[in-house]
Amino acid sequence: MNQDPRIGVFICECSGEIGGRVRCADLASFAAGLQSVKEVQTHPAYCMPPGLEEIRKAIAARELDRVVVAACSPRTHETLFMKAVSEANLNPYMLEVINIRDHAAAVAPDEVSATSKACAMLRIGVARTEKLSPLENARVRPEKRVVVIGAGLVGLSTAKELLARGFKVIAVEKSAAAGGMLSRYFTMLPGPHKTEDFLNRLVNDLKKNSDMEFRFGAEVTSLRGGTGAYEVTVRDSGGEQKVSAGAVVVAVGAEEFSPEGLFGFNGRDVITQAGLESLLKEGLDPLKESIAMIQCAGGRSERVPYCSRTCCMTALKNALWIKEQRPSAEVSIIFRDIYTGGPLLERDIRTAAEKGIKFYRYEKDDPPIVEREAGESMFPALKVTVHDTLTNSRKGLACDLVVLSNPLIPTRDSRKLAEIVGLPVDPHGFLIDHYARVKPSHFVAKGILVCGNAHFPLSPYEGQVQAYGTASRIAQLLSRDELEGSAFFSQVDEAKCIACGLCESVCAFGAIKVIQDEKGKKAHSSAVNCLGCGTCAAGCPMQAIGMRHFTDGQISSQIAAAVF
């Protein structure tokens, strides 16, 4: 700054909330005594239009270049005052709001101590304000292309919606074809739609679209940059290639938990629901007349401690399909608790019972036992013994086929992928929201979204709903001409940086990275990805990182002004 700061202090009485507890006249004369303060005003409520007008007028009349509002919380009112300040042609960051209402007036035992605390807070606030600099928000022109990792139902659905909104999409699929887990399924939830027809139509539509690109046998190996401007490295048989994208969708799905060692699983006559789907696709062997399904085969156990949500619905769907195709078949569902949440499938339980599907309930500690009948008798070959807690009796079921409803678990490389894209995982390995309770489907970086089974087990219907939501979130972001980030981000002083990489290791958001470029190896901070916490700055061995709006100088001046 060429000239001395000209600070205006505006003391809000907050309609008596402050005025009744702090001697505002004393506070005002205290403020007027501070050297850089050129104007002090008091008003009953600065947050109201007349109050804001007073601030704007004073800025112009007294040629103020920065403002302190001693009022309520910056957490609630800072944006309001920032707007007023910028309307008066001041940079909005040349403002400090200090909360003398909640931190002084309301909590001090008496007027004297409230006033003295307000004075001290004001002195600290003015000291900080003297050191403020005008700031611009980070800006980036977003790339109108999205990389979707995984070409299963959810990835494809996201791609479809993004294409409809005019974005280009690159689908990176690990396997050789689109369709993912669902392509092995005969029908899909919520109703018995034929999966094959549905998927073929979807894939063919996408393949015809010139804005759509498929990379099969490919994986993402690194991700750089920030929201709106990512650089994604894709590796396939032809080597590595870098593509630019405005956003990245992680839709890698999940894997089936292998029930090896449980309930006599052998893949032949003791199979999984997915195995049953393949049998149904080929046409179920007419000799398989008696079928038992065992729920929670691995799920809700020590090994997979959560409910996989979709296995009960899949079992019901398949049991009903078999019963409809072949009414003579005997189908039983042996369950711990039946979960068909939501209005779409609840009725299926009743329908199933009406159609003659038998239900048996077992306790976790007393699971059903699957045994092979001894002797040469061909059919039925299996016997399932279950202690049915509904009737409190032991039942022996002769079966031709036992189907295990096994849970979904995160893909084996979900943790590796999470590291590449910089997202946290839950203890199981599912990629998770940043703040599930407050902001579902918001992830640590705005431009990296997770949907489908990679997030948590979902039915195909729910997966599609999530995919459409994800596409819409991305459209909100990338349809703008320019993305505006925060003004608080880290900045590296390249002259001091020794590229030690400490900042990279402490940053939870991949916002600061050591990069080798033509000028050498230095840490680079991405203004768009940085959330402004300052953890890197406080740790930098060379003190080479500056935090905008929370600079070392500003904090030091506050500490120095905290005179008691």
Partner 1 sequence: MNRCEPRILAFLCNWAGYAACDLAGTQHLRLPPFLEVRVMCTGRVDPLQMIEAFLNGCDGVMLVGCRKGECRYENGNYHAERRVHWVRNALQYIGANPNRLSCDWIGADNAQAFKSVTEEFSAKVASLGRFGESDGIEKGELESRLRVLTEVFSGERMRWLTGRDLEMSGGTDVFGNGVSSDAFEKEVMDVFRNEYQRCRILIASGDAPRSVSEIASMTAMSSETVVREIVVLNRQGKLCLDSIVEGVPQYRRA
Cβ proximity to partner 1: between 372 and 521 the closer is 521
In the complex, the smallest distance separating the C-beta of residue 42 from partner 1, rounded to whole angstroms, is 19
* Of the candidate residues 38, 43, 66, 101, the single one contacting partner 1 (CB under 8 A): 101
For 19, what's the count of Cα atoms within 13 Å in the CB-facing half-sphere? Answer: 12
Q: Does 531 bind partner 1 (CB under 8 A)?
A: yes
DSSP 247: E
**Rg of the chain in Å (alpha carbons):** 32
Report helix, strand or coil for 20.
Answer: coil
* CA atoms of 188 and 207, how far apart (whole Å): 22
* Of the candidate residues 109, 327, 343, 375, the single one contacting partner 1 (CB under 8 A): 109
Peptide bond into 5 cis (omega under 30): no
Residues 540-559, mask of contacts with partner 1 (x by CB under 8 A)? xxxx---x--x-x--xx-xx
Report helix, strand or coil for 24.
Answer: helix
In the complex, the smallest distance separating the C-beta of residue 443 from partner 1, rounded to whole angstroms, is 12
In the complex, the smallest distance separating the C-beta of residue 312 from partner 1, rounded to whole angstroms, is 31
* CA atoms of 331 and 354, how far apart (whole Å): 12
Cβ proximity to partner 1: between 339 and 443 the closer is 443
Report helix, strand or coil for 314.
Answer: helix
Q: Does 560 bind partner 1 (CB under 8 A)?
A: yes
* CA atoms of 283 and 186, how far apart (whole Å): 10
Residues 149-168 contacting partner 1, CB under 8 A: none
* Of the candidate residues 94, 219, 537, 546, the single one contacting partner 1 (CB under 8 A): 537
Instruction: Please give, one letter per residue, the 3-state secondary structure of 257-279.
Output: CCCCCCCCCCCCCEEEHHHHHHH
Task: Provide the strand spans (E) within 354-445.
Answer: 358-361, 369-372, 382-388, 393-399, 401-404, 408-410
Cβ proximity to partner 1: between 113 and 241 the closer is 113
Beta bridge partner(s), residue 233: 222, 242
Q: Does 532 bind partner 1 (CB under 8 A)?
A: yes
Task: Provide the strand spans (E) within 389-482.
Answer: 393-399, 401-404, 408-410, 448-450
Report helix, strand or coil for 100.
Answer: helix
Cβ proximity to partner 1: between 48 and 107 the closer is 107
Q: Does 334 bind partner 1 (CB under 8 A)?
A: no
DSSP 403: E
In the complex, the smallest distance separating the C-beta of residue 72 from partner 1, rounded to whole angstroms, is 8
* Of the candidate residues 124, 218, 331, 467, the single one contacting partner 1 (CB under 8 A): 124
Q: At what angle do helices 111-130 and 24-32 cross, to 10 degrees?
A: 30
In the complex, the smallest distance separating the C-beta of residue 539 from partner 1, rounded to whole angstroms, is 4
Cβ proximity to partner 1: between 343 and 427 the closer is 427
Beta bridge partner(s), residue 213: 170
In the complex, the smallest distance separating the C-beta of residue 112 from partner 1, rounded to whole angstroms, is 6
Q: Does 54 bind partner 1 (CB under 8 A)?
A: no
The counts of H helices and E strands in the chain are 15, 30
Of the candidate spans 60-68, 120-128, 367-375, 382-390, the one that interacts with partner 1 by CB under 8 A turns out to be 120-128
Binding residues with partner 1: total (CB under 8 A): 55
Phi, psi of 21 (to 5 degrees): -120, -20
Cβ proximity to partner 1: between 293 and 537 the closer is 537
Residues 427-466 contacting partner 1, CB under 8 A: 444
* CA atoms of 373 and 67, how far apart (whole Å): 86
* CA atoms of 260 and 540, how far apart (whole Å): 50
* CA atoms of 500 and 71, how far apart (whole Å): 43
Of the candidate spans 70-78, 245-253, 381-389, 470-478, the one that interacts with partner 1 by CB under 8 A turns out to be 70-78
Residues 491-510 contacting partner 1, CB under 8 A: 498, 500, 502, 505-506, 508-509
* Of the candidate residues 10, 75, 264, 287, the single one contacting partner 1 (CB under 8 A): 75
Cβ proximity to partner 1: between 125 and 410 the closer is 125
Helix or strand run (H / E) with residue 82: helix 74-87
Of the candidate spans 266-274, 342-350, 406-414, 539-547, the one that interacts with partner 1 by CB under 8 A turns out to be 539-547
* Of the candidate residues 6, 36, 53, 120, the single one contacting partner 1 (CB under 8 A): 120
* Of the candidate residues 29, 73, 258, 479, the single one contacting partner 1 (CB under 8 A): 73
Cβ proximity to partner 1: between 69 and 458 the closer is 69
b/e 348-377 (16+ beta carbons within 10 angstroms → b) = bbeebeeeebbebbbeeeebbebeeeeeee
Pairing of strands 239-245, 229-236: antiparallel
Q: Does 562 bind partner 1 (CB under 8 A)?
A: yes
In the complex, the smallest distance separating the C-beta of residue 105 from partner 1, rounded to whole angstroms, is 7
Cβ proximity to partner 1: between 353 and 560 the closer is 560
Residues that bind partner 1 (CB under 8 A): 30, 73-76, 99, 101-103, 105-109, 112-113, 116-117, 119-121, 124, 424, 444, 488, 498, 500, 502, 505-506, 508-509, 531-535, 537-543, 547, 550, 552, 555-556, 558-560, 562-564
